[in-house]
Structure 1
Amino acid sequence: MSTSAVDSSNPYAALGLAVNKTSDSKSGNALGEDAFLKLLTTQLQNQNPLNPTDNTEFLGQLAQISTVSGVQSLNDSFAALSSSLTSSQTLQAAQLVGHNVLVPSSAGYLPGGGTLDGAVVPTGSGTVQVDVVDASGQVVRTLDLGQQSAGVVKFSWDGTDSKGTTLEPGTYKLQARLTQGDTQTALDTYASSTVQSVQLGSDGLTLDLQGIGAFALSDVAQIL
């Protein structure tokens, strides 16, 4: 019985699997499903008739190709699912354009003829106050929200200073505090603003909010 000659210095050459030395290590080490099947078929054709491949080894090799094929199919399915979810989420986020959302922010936007709206979340009972600060760092208005209990407390500023003068539209800084007896605790503030656009980037979906910048979709605490 004749057997095919195999170059001992390059046993893959006879199988058409010679490695291209100019390719990168990733592509050189990759063994696709077609190449695996070709290697397995050639191995069976050139096995030693006096010492053939036993059933256990052969079944093990078949199991390997089944695993490779299954993993690739699973990867493709997950990729398709991820793409579908991203597209669906983008469409849903696009529907927020023109709507107001509440996000954690140390600044709020006062539109012309409108109000600057926001919220604070005191952790306990006490007096809550919110300072509105202009671009020069001056407190132009202090909103006294009175005695409040723990939970969400909303506020609205009409754009007038402490003398009743209407101020220019724009972005104003917010500083909130909770007073409990002789103790004052700074509070995080939330601001309401209009969604102007939605962007999909490497970090996911972001919303461009009027006057206060970009925020992740996950930052939205409430859709108003």
Structure 2
Amino acid sequence: MATGPIDSRLLEQLGINREQVRQKRNDQLGQADFLKLMTTQLSNQDPFKPMESGDFLAQIAQFGTVNGITELQKSFQDFSSRIFSGQALQAASLIGREVLVPGDSMLHMAGNSEQIAVDLPNAATDVEVSVYTASGQLVDTLRLGPQEAGLLNIAWDGTDSQGNPVPTGEYRFEATVRNGTSASAANLFMSTRVLSVSLDRNGGDMQLETEGLGRVDFSDVRRIA
């Protein structure tokens, strides 16, 4: 059986303005508020016209629902906090580590060697990786010969085709995979160091600030060294 509206005298005894009740959203009624309303209503009922058992049970059920929702919200908040804490620990452990992420260009520092990788879905009769300057000038071509399917790791020593060290700057890489007479491009990955990590409390992906490659999503990381 549905319960009737709350009497104005009951609201006055509780120090609640009826207009405030109208303006207050239903989901803002807390457990303490609900319990106070119910107990006050019971203590002020007419002894000759007591609340029907159906009405009383309905209010008990409403109280249980409010209490259950409150506990459920608290459980979700605790669960979310644990997840965020776990992500924070994972993020802290990544700083300073080498990660392999998708990309075909990087900022090369003179004198350094660069670690890159080519993703080979199938075995190839020949694989080549060409290195270009930011303006498109060919620097060197790494001829790697026949390769099995999988992730092919490559080290570029930072020199041109004559063996001379190249200056600091942006360099782009292209991988060409040949099978007999056919040739196709392949996906490349760059190895870089993690400088810092950004976390999203709203559940978004972890962001890694990397050396030479900028910001990348953690979900794009292929390997952590």
Q: Shorter-chain TM-score: what band?
A: 0.7 to 0.9
Q: Percent identity?
A: 39
**Rounded Cα–Cα distance in structure 2 between residues aligned with 1:52 and 1:117:** 82
Aligned to 2:161: 162
What is the CA–CA distance in structure 2 between the aligned matches of 1:145 and 1:20, rounded to whole Å?
A: 79
1:96 corresponding residue in structure 2: 94
CA RMSD after TM alignment: 3.0
Shift in alpha-carbon separation, 1:39–1:163, aligned structure 2, 3 A? same
Residue of structure 2 in register with 1:43 after alignment:
41
The aligned amino acid for 2:217 is A
Amino acid of the residue matched to residue 130 of structure 2?
Answer: D
Structure 1 residue 201, shift from structure 2 partner: 4.0
Counterparts of 1:25 and 1:157 in 2: how far apart (Å)?
Answer: 68
Partner of 1:142, secondary structure, is: strand
Q: How big is each residue's C-alpha offset from its partner over 1:34-85, in whole Å with a ceiling of 9 and x where there is no partner?
A: 2212222233234454553333432232122222222222222322232233
Moved more, 30-39 or 43-52: 43-52
Residues 1-224 of structure 1: pairs in structure 2 closer than 5 A: 12-18=11-17, 27=25, 30-49=28-47, 51-126=49-124, 127-201=126-200, 203-224=204-225
Residue identity opposite 1:61 in structure 2? Q
Question: Given that residues 131 and 139 in structure 1 are in contact (C-alpha distance below 8 angstroms), is that contact kept between their aligned partners in structure 2?
Answer: yes
Q: 1:24 to 1:193 in 2, by over 3 A?
A: farther
SS in structure 1 of the partner of residue 206 of structure 2 = strand
Structure 1 stretch displaced more, 114-123 or 161-170:
161-170
TM-score (norm 1): 0.81
Aligned residues: 218
Instruction: Work out the CA distance in 1 between the residues paired with 2:122 and 2:183.
Output: 12
> Match of 1:95, SS?
helix
Q: Distance in 1 between matches of 2:6 and 2:200?
A: 52
Shift of 1:120: 1.5
How far apart, CA to CA, are the structure 1 residues paired with 2:22 and 2:217? 38
| Structure 2 unaligned residues grouped into runs of 5+ | none
The offset of 1:138, in angstroms, is 2.1
Which segments of structure 1 move beyond 6 Å, counting only runs of 4 or more? Answer: 6-11
